[in-house]
Copies of this chain bind each other. A is one copy, B any other.
């Protein structure tokens, strides 16, 4: 724990009342959605300006105090957990959109701006912020940048990385860098902005970000298609991608759908039972586009790749179809699932998925495996539900073994052990399955450059 005298000094760097040390605050701000680690920060500090962030980092640097950046605390890899007496730097009071430029289509955001706040802001301006995911209502832009957040529209719009025009960061020595200055074209040496995106706060803290906005999508239309097997999903993706600019291509298994249907509050897409379902979305900008989508659907049925399907005819139906996919995570949380967020190249998804299924089936035939994810970008969410008969402890002990198999299979397929949730503490010890020894050594050397005293979110990504 940090020396109480130092905490008193910290209080002088921010506004009165902006350092909290009460048990409730320490508990609330010390954790994220993972809940694997007991929160144990020394204090929570709330800066209100870039200068205050710099002062905090300089203070931490001087006294070798570890800092943990804190956004919406919706992380799923314990990247923003403070379990070792760190001081948490919360950006809750740096939550304003400072500027908007309609010609550049940019919004200058403080790090604590909530994702949905930026989405709404864009909508009010007739524009669109396209990075979207389940926790958009509480996740913050600074955290999104720290983990290079992805979500459900990546196939069309890419990750958060694509939308960061410029970045102000405070490095581990308290220096302020203004990276890229919001330019589209800038060939003046290393693009260090890119290093800080996805660095989980281990190189420095994002203190301001200029985010790009896009034109608003027109008449978004979704299709849900049932397929006779997983292999059929790939030619369906291929056929639609050749004809339409897809904004999403998601999938889920019959087991996932069954859980959604059991809720009773989501209408079924159609009657036919299928082992797998694809949900795709596109802009039906004209009659011709909708016709092309239907023609492709018919082609897929003729080829035997699709058994049944439906296309949304209204905004309401669009929302209902999306619920089939978006409610999965929340719905299955009831079964205390083992979760893993992994990716391989799109073309390897079917073989990879079969390998994992076979391993789990052979070893734990009583485990119920629920697959869903962003198949258009190779990102699979593997979920295994706890059998009623097993205790939590027994289940998680068995899952630790499953973990090993999953990561070995990921490595075999040259995939990623963390597609979009980040490494944090949860996957730190498995990093070598996706990154070579040499890569990890270079990453550590880069951290040394920006954070020589190792005070910026230590213990995350690597030990």
Interface of A is mostly: loop
Besides the contacts A126-B242, A186-B418, A286-B289, what 4 more A-B pairs have beta carbons closer than 8 Å? A148-B191, A150-B185, A188-B434, A189-B431
A101 touches B187 (CB 8 A): no
Interface residues, chain A, CB within 8 Å of chain B?
A: 101-104, 106, 126, 147-148, 150, 154, 158-159, 161-162, 171, 175-179, 181-192, 194-195, 197-200, 203, 215, 234, 237-238, 241-242, 245, 285-286, 288-289, 343-347, 374, 377-379, 414-423, 427, 431, 434-436, 438-440, 442-443, 445-446, 449-450, 461-462
Contacts known (A215-B241, A234-B103, A288-B286); A184 close to B346, Cβ less than 8 A: yes
Q: A452 CB to closest chain B CB, in angstroms? A: 10
What CA separation (Å) do A161 and B197 show in the bound complex?
A: 15
Contacts known (A175-B438, A462-B189); A343 close to B184, Cβ less than 8 A: yes
B439 touches A187 (CB 8 A): no
Q: A413 CB to closest chain B CB, in angstroms? A: 9
Contacts known (A104-B345, A449-B445); A190 close to B195, Cβ less than 8 A: yes
Find chain B residues with CB under 8 A from A181 CB: 345, 414-416, 434
What CA separation (Å) do A161 and B423 show in the bound complex?
A: 24
Find chain B residues with CB under 8 A from A462 CB: 189
Q: A352 CB to closest chain B CB, in angstroms? A: 12
Q: Which residue from B188, B379, B423, B461 sits with its C-beta under 8 Å from A431?
A: B188
Find chain B residues with CB under 8 A from A182 CB: 345, 414
Q: A398 CB to closest chain B CB, in angstroms? A: 25
What CA separation (Å) do A197 and B191 show in the bound complex?
A: 8
Copy number of this protein in the oligomer? 2
Contacts known (A150-B185, A154-B184, A438-B175); A446 close to B343, Cβ less than 8 A: no
Q: A448 CB to closest chain B CB, in angstroms? A: 8
Find chain B residues with CB under 8 A from A442 CB: 171, 177, 192, 449-450
B416 touches A187 (CB 8 A): yes
What CA separation (Å) do A438 and B374 show in the bound complex?
A: 40
What CA separation (Å) do A104 and B344 show in the bound complex?
A: 11
B446 touches A186 (CB 8 A): no
B188 touches A417 (CB 8 A): yes
